[in-house]
Amino acid sequence: YAMLLSLIFLIVLVAAVVGFVFRHEIKTNFESNLNLALENYNVTADRHSQAVDTIQRTLHCCGVQNYSDWERTEYFSQKGIPRSCCKSQNDCLEKDLKDPNKAKLKVFVDGCFFLVTSTMESKMSIVAGISFGIACFQLIGIILACCLSRYITNNQYEMV
pLDDT digits (tens, 9 = 90+) for 33-86: 988 888 888 856 678 888 888 999 999 999 899 888 898 888 888 888 888 899
In order of their start, the domains of the chain are 1-158 (1.10.1450.10)
Kindly indicate the confidence band of residue 94, based on its pLDDT and cuts at 50, 70 and 90.
confident
Q: What is the pLDDT of residue 158?
A: 57
- pTM tops 0.75, yes or no: no
* pLDDT > 70: percent of the chain: 95
pLDDT digits (tens, 9 = 90+) for 4-20: 989 988 888 888 888 77
Q: What is the pLDDT of residue 140?
A: 93
Residue 159 has pLDDT above 90, yes or no: no
Per-residue pLDDT, averaged over 92-105, amounts to 84
Residue 110 contacts residue 119 (beta carbons within 8 Å)? no
Kindly indicate the confidence band of residue 160, based on its pLDDT and cuts at 50, 70 and 90.
low
3 state SS for the chain: CHHHHHHHHHHHHHHHHHHHHCHHHHHHHHHHHHHHHHHCCCCCCCHHHHHHHHHHHHHCCCCCCEHHHHHHCHHHHHHCCCHHHECCHHHCCHHHHHCHHHHHHHECCECHHHHHHHHHHHHHHHHHHHHHHHHHHHHHHHHHHHHHHHHHHHCCCCCC
